[in-house]
Structure 1
Amino acid sequence: MVSSGQQNYYNKLETILTELPWYVEEYIDTKSRKLSAASLVNYCHDFKIFFNWLLAEGLFDGSIKDIPLTLLEKLTVLQVESFLSYLKFQLSNKEITVNRKLSSLKSLFGYLQNIAETDDLQPYINRNVMAKIDFNDVSESPETTANRMEGKILLGDEYETFRVFVSEGYLETVIDDKKKTNFYHFNRERDIAIISMFLGSGLRLSELVGLDLGDIDFNKYNARVIRKGNKEQYVYFSEQAMWDLQDYINIRIERYKVEKNNKALFLSAPMGPKGTSRRLTPRAIEKLVEKYAIAFGKPSLSVHKLRHSFATRYHAEINDVPKLRRQLGHSSIQTTMIYTHIQNEDLKNAINKLNMPKE
């Protein structure tokens, strides 16, 4: 059964595909069995950026939808490298983001060359320029990743302090601004529940956005989510998250004027002439977290950093990497191992002892 959150992504996918060439839609169809709708939308956004760049560079005179396969087949390595430079220097994409967009294009071009066939069993393109392009080297040791991350996540007492700040302390920072104060009072229970769910489960942004009311099991303290690869999984969340979520649900229908067919868990304030509530968008939740993080005095804290904060806390309390890997939905245990390098007090204490004078 497709949740309304997933259906929302499918609707977005259908819309963006109408703007892209026919062979992209064919490619997306082949990926739909293995990838979530959210991932497919991200792929299409990457393709749209690339195709728009082709038009801006004067490589094709027409609309994106009409870009022919012959153009893709004749692209040079220098032209693709120029596009990657555009991503980095014009769009200010980090190297890891450039790699992700390049990976999307490699996948599309690989399909066109190696999988797709014409009626006479010929590949759609014979030359694949993307196969000649290397990814940026952004590899680093788990220790380096952990050290870079450590100053940007919640550690120790900050974990609960941040939640309490959202619950109580934030109001003091906006008390002189009537508009912000009223907005906070209106959304307080919702915002606390969102922060608690991130801190109490380690969910990804797309997973939390896609939650429907029926996905929550309060008896088992878990939530049904659609993970990467379009995999369904039941993820546990903390008692505190459950309590905060229940407080929000108690006021959800009346305060947000929820229509019967709206199953989305987290909603925006009623908008428009009819006062309709809609599912919170990923960007709205990012801005929500950003607002509280800045007021808290930790502006580097983001949705993804809350996920890292949960993982670090989990490892410190339980020290069970396989279980943490499942909770986070990592495909590789090497990704999960990063959290074993954060706040390694045993190692730190051992090194400190080397500097102690002998008695």
Structure 2
Amino acid sequence: MEGNDYDKVDIGILSEDFLKNVRLQDLHAYIIYIGKVRNNCNKTKVRKVASLRSYFKYLYSIIEYLDSNPAERLEIPKIESRHPVYLSLEDAKRLLESVDGRFRVRDFAIITVFLNCGLRLSELVGINMGNIKGDALTVIGKGDKERTVYLNKACKNALDAYISQRTDPVNIGDDALFLSSRRKRISPKGVSHLLKKHLKSAGLSGKNYSPHKLRHTAATLMQDIKSRYQISVPVV
């Protein structure tokens, strides 16, 4: 059976005994077929194998229509591992060097913290002034779990420069570290927007970079080059 002929099969002509004659070898042949003829990737194969296993388990264990389960030993294909997208050291420096505009000191601090600390976007926008104690930053992560991130020299310099010129928030008592143009806590959308803007200025747009990818960058650089590098250029 080739190509689109697969779509023309009338399952109504199959007898009930057909299912009782299905063997593991038949299921293996089906998986090979959808890979070689239907060009299904392993992710699609995994979904179809899961459906087959669930269906035959139902026939065997729930309604006891089958005397055995041919899909019980049907193996799930391995899904190709995705390589995380992250900036190289050179691209990270290029991004920082491109930061400009009215909020360049704030944006520089935001991107520097992203690149060095590996924070989630929600963690970064949630930082309060009181969360910074010397070279230690306290953030609230998933499940409201608190953790401490230590700031290297690059982060300290960028944050000190930003805090020294940070305007007062519009709401008295608002302790948010990073403020928007309206002097309120910057939103995740606002951070994504400024990042997209500076990536474009650096000639790095169209590469699927995002705040989450900057988090990958931090983890990768920390793993690959340890403490030999701190991503930093002089704050303008």
TM-score after normalising by structure 2:
0.58
Give percent identity, aligned residues only.
Answer: 34
- Secondary structure of the residue aligned to 1:241 is helix
Map of 1:65 onto structure 2:
none
1:215 maps onto 2:131 in alignment: yes
1:282 maps onto 2:188 in alignment: yes
Call closer, same or farther: CA 1:232–1:294 in 2, change over 3 Å.
Answer: same
Match of 1:266 among 178, 198, 217: 178
* Aligned counterparts, 1:110-129, within 5 A: none
Call closer, same or farther: CA 1:140–1:291 in 2, change over 3 Å.
Answer: farther
Q: CA RMSD in A?
A: 2.3
Call closer, same or farther: CA 1:222–1:138 in 2, change over 3 Å.
Answer: farther
* Aligned counterparts, 1:328-343, within 5 A: none
Match of 1:195 among 111, 121, 134: 111
Map of 1:293 onto structure 2:
199
- Secondary structure of the residue aligned to 2:107 is helix
- Secondary structure of the residue aligned to 2:166 is helix
Q: Supply the distance in 1 between the matched residues of 2:126 and 2:143 (Cα, whole angstroms).
A: 15
Map of 2:20 onto structure 1:
none
Q: Supply the distance in 1 between the matched residues of 2:77 and 2:193 (Cα, whole angstroms).
A: 27
Map of 2:216 onto structure 1:
308
Call closer, same or farther: CA 1:261–1:138 in 2, change over 3 Å.
Answer: farther
As a proportion of its length, which structure holds more helix?
Answer: 1
Amino acid at match of 1:278: K
Call closer, same or farther: CA 1:204–1:138 in 2, change over 3 Å.
Answer: farther
- Secondary structure of the residue aligned to 2:149 is strand
* Aligned counterparts, 1:72-151, within 5 A: 140-141=79-80, 144-146=81-83, 149=84
Long gaps (5+) in structure 1: 1-94, 96-136, 172-183, 271-276, 320-359
- Secondary structure of the residue aligned to 1:287 is helix
Q: Which has the higher contact order (CA 8 A, sep 6+)?
A: 2
1:155 maps onto 2:63 in alignment: no
- Higher-Rg structure is 2
Q: Supply the distance in 2 between the matched residues of 1:286 and 1:257 (Cα, whole angstroms).
A: 21
Structure 1 residue 138 displacement after superposition = 11
Q: Supply the distance in 1 between the matched residues of 2:188 and 2:203 (Cα, whole angstroms).
A: 23
The CA deviation string for residues 83-126 of structure 1, in whole angstroms up to 9 with x for no partner, is: xxxxxxxxxxxx9xxxxxxxxxxxxxxxxxxxxxxxxxxxxxxx
Map of 1:132 onto structure 2:
none
1:251 maps onto 2:165 in alignment: yes
Paired residues of 1:286 and 1:302 also in contact (CA < 8 A): yes
Call closer, same or farther: CA 1:139–1:306 in 2, change over 3 Å.
Answer: farther
1:229 maps onto 2:135 in alignment: no
Q: Supply the distance in 2 between the matched residues of 1:196 and 1:139 (Cα, whole angstroms).
A: 37
- Secondary structure of the residue aligned to 1:157 is helix
- Secondary structure of the residue aligned to 2:82 is helix
1:242 maps onto 2:159 in alignment: no
Paired residues of 2:105 and 2:162 also in contact (CA < 8 A): yes
Amino acid at match of 1:161: R
Q: Supply the distance in 2 between the matched residues of 1:138 and 1:230 (Cα, whole angstroms).
A: 36
Paired residues of 1:252 and 1:258 also in contact (CA < 8 A): no
Paired residues of 2:169 and 2:179 also in contact (CA < 8 A): no
Q: Supply the distance in 1 between the matched residues of 2:79 and 2:151 (Cα, whole angstroms).
A: 31
Call closer, same or farther: CA 1:318–1:138 in 2, change over 3 Å.
Answer: farther
Paired residues of 1:198 and 1:310 also in contact (CA < 8 A): yes
Paired residues of 1:293 and 1:302 also in contact (CA < 8 A): no
Amino acid at match of 2:217: S
Structure 1 residue 153 displacement after superposition = 2.0
Equivalent pairs, count: 151
